[in-house]
Structures are given as C-alpha cells and as structure tokens.
C-alpha cells in the first residue's frame, strides 16, 4: 500500500468562508504562493463576509468566487462535480459568541448542517481516491470549554462546550471525526485560539477597541475584564493551516495557539496605548474610555493552548510577538479608512446599540 501521500499537493481547493476574516487572510497568502493550484471561494456573504478583503487577488486566474451557502447540498454537489476538488479548507461559520447567545439557530444551520453537507459531498465525490484528498476543518479551542487559573488545553482535553457557538463548533468537530471513522474521510482538524489582525469584523474585542478608541467612544469591557484569552496573529494561524494542508497527517487534530495569554483588561489597556501612540495623542489619553459593562452570560473564564505537539509535528511557530502583532493591527486599521467606512454602516451601528447600552 502506498504511503498516505505526504506531502499533500492539492490541485483544486474549495475554501469556504473565504470572504471572512481568517478565510480571506488565508486566500491572500495562498493564491499567489501556489499559482499552479486553483482556489474556489464559496461564501454566503453574511454581515461578516466582505469581498473588499480579496480585492488584490480577485483577478488572479487561479481564483474564483462563488456566492452561496455551504448548507446548499445541490450547489455544493454541483461545485464538487464541476471543479473536482481534492481539498476543502472549511472556514465558513457563524463565529461570534455574543450573536450565538442572541440567535443560536443560525449557528446550528451554518456550523452544523453546513459542515455535514460539505462532509457528505466530499465523501461521495472522493470515493476511491480518499488518499489523495484532504478535508481541513477550521475549528476553535472553545470546544474544550473553559479553564480555571491553571492548566492548558491538550489533545487529551475532553469536549465541553459552554456557549451556543462553541456547542455548534463541537458538534461539527464530532461529525468531522465520525466521517473519518465511518467513511475513511481524510480529515484534519485545527483547534485554534483567539485570532486578531487585518480584516477582522469589529464585533470582536480587538478591532472593536481600536474603532472605539479612534472615535473616542466608550470601550465596553465585560465584567471586571479578568477573563483570559490566548491571542494569535491571523497570519500565524494561516501559516499553520498551510502546513496542515500540505504536510498534515490525515486523521490528526492540531492545537494552535500563540502562547500569549492576556487578561482582557490588560490587552485593552495595551491597545489603547498603541492607538494613542499611533494617533500622536498624549500617553494614557484613551484609558478613560474603558467602561465596565454587564458580563457575557456564561462567559468562559480562560482559554490557553498547549501547542508544543503542533509546533514539533509541523515545524511551525508564531512569528509575531503579541505587542508587534497588535501594533501591526492598529496600523492596519488606521491606514485602511475605506474598509472601515464600508464596515461601519447602519447595520453595524444597529448591532452596537442592540448589544451595548452605552
Ligand atoms: P468570520 O465571521 O469573520 O467569517 C465567516 C465567513 O463565513 C464570512 O465570510 C461569512 O460570510 C461566511 N459564512 C457564514 N455562514 C456561511 C454559510 N452558511 N455558507 C457560506 N459562507 C458562510 O469568521 P472568522 O473569524 O474568519 O472564523 C473563520 C473560522 O475560524 C470559523 O469556523 C471559526 O469558528 C474559526 N475560528 C475563528 C477564530 C477567531 O479567533 N476568529 C479562532 C479559531 C477558529
Ligand atoms: O478562542 C477562539 C474563539 O475566539 C473563536 O472561536 C471565536 O470565533 C472568536 O470570536 C473568539 O471568541 P471570544 O468570545 O473569545 O472572542 P471576543 O473577541 O468576542 O471576546 C474576547 C474576550 O473579550 C472575551 O473574554 C469577551 C471579551 N469582550 C468581548 C467583547 C466583544 C469584552 O470584554 N467586551 C466586548 O465588547
């Protein structure tokens, strides 16, 4: 029997959710780097999908955009038949915990049913050629629940999701594993910590703080700001995903994190200082914007990833320190005013006033 085809050379890659934050960073990295491969981006363009992110590659001959829902079985099946995908990199999801608390059903629809639709199309189209194909499922560390003051998520951590978002991602992970076990689907799962960087929709903490600071609006911090996240620059996450796609072992779960644990209050303080510095404001001028608001229901206290096995297996390490990554991110938001203006529309303003009464 031939080895299970390492390193893997994908011919035509279906990227789902490629107009979102991480998916677009991934396509910006991959499309020019792998000119011999075709990339098809299937994205529904929800509020979080933004084709402006992909402006610099939209005319590349190895890139195609299709607007559609990953849960649309007929469409997904037609795309598999037409493009003969040998790899799927599955980013598409509803991704914001606060929105999952307000309206969980959309998370079931896209994150669970959407994932199963893709898995089922893949197993039908890859029958007899599983060894040369890959299904890379982009998941989250939140499926493992919440940590206390000590310890790390490891490959031995049990699934223990605590929000509708993380429950939907955990359910999707279980289906991915079940398709590997039952049908031999060549899957790889990435469970990654909190990303930040260019093109992130400003509902998430880091771009939200930057926008509030630029506009000198209150910066909402949940509870006492003591919750801890392990931050990773999106380019470092995409570098890890590239390695998983090209060299990852089928059937493997990779834990990805930045080893940059920080409390929310500390990261907010640091970001406000970086914005002040970039805007030429007096040091500390924006600290007064910090506003403690009601805590997120069921707020997970701490996430922290032990990524040593992934580093060893993939030869991957993050390239950005937390401060360098945040500085680069602040500068990106400051110099991309057109992007900000487009995102900062009426529906975003309506979201802010619904979510925060400040
Ligand atoms: P995002 O919300 O910025 O982008 C999601 C993209 O998926 C959008 O372009 C949206 O239009 C698209 N989409 C949503 N539902 C769809 C559907 N039914 N069909 C087709 N397209 C659909 O999300 P993100 O932050 O880029 O996250 C991408 C993936 O990475 C998600 O699966 C998320 O769970 C996972 N993840 C995110 C982080 C993070 O910190 N942001 C960390 C670890 C894992
Ligand atoms: O851990 C990976 C996950 O990280 C991803 O799977 C999710 O898609 C992504 O959204 C992110 O989830 P979080 O809930 O950790 O990210 P968020 O940016 O929403 O919040 C980060 C922390 O900041 C969290 O403890 C809640 C807090 N917070 C968030 C917002 C939006 C605030 O204090 N105030 C806020 O206004």
Q: How confident is the model at residue 4 (pLDDT cuts 50, 70, 90)?
A: very low
Ligand 1 nearest atom to the CA of residue 50, by list position: 9
Q: What is the average per-residue pLDDT within 99-114? A: 98
Q: How far is the CA of 21 from the centre of ligand 1 (A)?
A: 7
CA distance 152 to 182: 30
Contact 135, 185 (CB under 8 A): yes
Specify the pLDDT at position 143.
98
**DSSP string for residues in 294-339:** PPPTT---B--B--HHHHHHHT----S-HHHHHHHHHHHHHH-HHH
* Local structure of residue 139 (DSSP, 8 states): E
Q: Which ligand is nearest to the CA of 206?
A: 2
256 membership: H or E segment, kind and range: strand 252-256
Instruction: Tell whether the model's pLDDT for residue 2 goes beyond 50.
Output: no
User: DSSP label at 108?
Assistant: I
Verify whether residue 60 is a known catalytic residue: no
The pLDDT value given to residue 151? 97
| Both tokens assigned to 235 | 């380019």
Q: Say yes or no: CB of residue 96 within 6 Å of ligand 2.
A: yes
Task: Tell me the pLDDT of the chain averaged across its residues.
Answer: 96
Atom of ligand 1 lying closest to residue 200 CA? 3
Predicted pLDDT at 95: 98
Query: pLDDT tens-digit profile of 317-349?
Result: 999 999 999 999 999 999 999 999 999 999 999
Q: CA end-to-end span of the chain, whole Å?
A: 63
Residue pair 208/245 in contact by the 8 Å Cβ criterion: no
Is the Cβ atom of 92 under 6 angstroms away from ligand 1? yes
pLDDT tens by residue, 216-245: 999 999 999 999 999 999 999 999 999 999
User: Is 131 one of the catalytic residues?
Assistant: no
Predicted pLDDT of residue 3:
37
Cis peptide bond N-terminal to 220, omega within 30: no
Banded model confidence at residue 357, pLDDT cuts 50, 70, 90: confident
Strand-pair category, 134-140 with 252-256: unpaired
**Residue of 130, 113, 264 whose CA lies nearest to 186:** 130
Q: Give pLDDT, residue 6.
A: 44
- 115 within 8 A of 70, measured Cβ to Cβ: yes
Ligand nearest to the CA of 173: 1
Collapsing DSSP states into helix, strand and coil, what is residue 130?
Answer: helix
Residue 358 confidence (pLDDT): 72
pLDDT of residue 7: 63
If you average pLDDT over residues 182-207, what whole number do you get?
98
Q: Is the predicted pLDDT of residue 1 greater than 90, yes or no?
A: no
Q: Which is catalytic among the residues 43, 94, 141, 236?
A: 141
Pocket test for ligand 2, best of 101, 143, 144, 194 (most atoms within 8 A of CB): 194
The answer to whether residue 160 scores a pLDDT higher than 70 is yes
What distance separates the 2 farthest-apart alpha carbons in the chain? 67
Q: How many helices (H) and strands (E) does the chain have?
A: 13, 12
Nearest CA to ligand 2 atom 21: 205
Most informative mutation of 49, 76, 94, 95 for ligand 1 (most atoms within 8 A of CB):
95
Q: Tell whether the model's pLDDT for residue 120 goes beyond 90.
A: yes
Minimal-distance CA residue to ligand 1 atom 44: 140
Residue 39 has pLDDT above 60, yes or no: yes
pLDDT higher than threshold 70 for residue 124: yes
Residue from 15, 42, 47, 48 whose mutation best tests the ligand 1 pocket (most atoms within 8 A of CB) = 48
Q: Which one is catalytic: 69, 94, 142, 173?
A: 142
Q: Which two tokens stand for residue 171?
A: 């359910």
Ligand 1 centroid to residue 286 C-alpha, Å = 31
8 A C-beta contact, residue 66 and residue 42: yes
Q: Return the pLDDT at 78.
A: 98
- Does position 50 have pLDDT exceeding 70, yes or no? yes
Whether residue 234 has its Cβ less than 6 Å from ligand 2: no
pLDDT in the model for residue 9: 66
C-alpha of residue 277 to centroid of ligand 1, in Å: 31
Question: Does ligand 1 lie within 6 Å of residue 202's CB atom?
Answer: no
Closest CA to 192 of 158, 169, 225, 216: 169
> Span 177-187, mean pLDDT?
98
Q: Which atom of ligand 2 is nearest to the CA of 203?
A: 31
pLDDT at 18: 99
Q: Is 36 a catalytic residue?
A: no
Query: Does any ligand 1 atom lie closer than 6 A to the CB of residue 201?
Result: yes
> Mean per-residue pLDDT for 246-260?
97
Q: Taking residues 147-153, what's their average pLDDT?
A: 97
């Amino acid at each position: 029997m031939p080895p299970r085809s390492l390193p893997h050379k994908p011919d035509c890659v279906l990227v789902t959710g490629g107009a979102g934050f991480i998916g677009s960073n991934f396509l910006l990295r991959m499309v020019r780097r792998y000119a011999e491969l075709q990339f098809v981006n299937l994205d529904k363009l929800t509020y979080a999908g933004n084709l402006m992110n992909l402006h610099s590659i939209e005319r590349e001959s190895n890139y195609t955009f299709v607007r559609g829902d990953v849960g649309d079985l007929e469409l997904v099946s037609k795309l598999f038949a037409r493009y003969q995908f040998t790899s799927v990199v599955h980013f598409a999801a509803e991704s914001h915990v606060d929105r999952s608390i307000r309206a969980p059903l959309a998370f079931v629809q896209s994150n669970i049913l959407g994932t199963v639709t893709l898995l089922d199309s893949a197993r039908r189209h890859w029958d007899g050629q599983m060894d040369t194909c890959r299904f890379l499922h982009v998941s989250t560390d939140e499926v493992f629940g919440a940590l206390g003051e000590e310890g790390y998520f490891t490959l031995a951590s049990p699934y223990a999701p605590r929000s509708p978002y993380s429950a939907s991602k955990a359910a999707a992970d279980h289906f991915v594993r079940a398709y590997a076990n039952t049908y031999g689907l060549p899957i790889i799962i990435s469970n990654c910590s909190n990303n930040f960087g260019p093109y992130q929709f400003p509902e998430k903490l880091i771009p939200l703080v930057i926008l509030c600071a630029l506009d000198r609006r209150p910066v909402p911090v949940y509870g006492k700001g003591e919750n801890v996240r392990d931050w990773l620059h999106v380019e470092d996450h995409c570098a890890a995903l590239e390695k998983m796609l090209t060299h990852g072992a089928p059937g493997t779960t990779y834990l990805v994190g930045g080893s940059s644990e920080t409390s929310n209050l500390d990261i907010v303080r640091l970001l406000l200082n970086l914005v002040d510095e970039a805007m030429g404001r007096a040091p500390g001028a924006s600290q007064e914007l910090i506003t403690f608001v009601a805590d997120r229901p069921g707020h997970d206290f701490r996430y922290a990833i032990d990524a040593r096995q992934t580093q060893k297996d993939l030869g991957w390490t993050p390239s950005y320190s937390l401060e360098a990554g945040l500085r680069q991110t602040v500068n990106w938001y400051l110099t991309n005013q057109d992007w900000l203006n487009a995102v900062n529309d009426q529906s975003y303003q309506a979201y802010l006033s619904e979510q925060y009464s400040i």
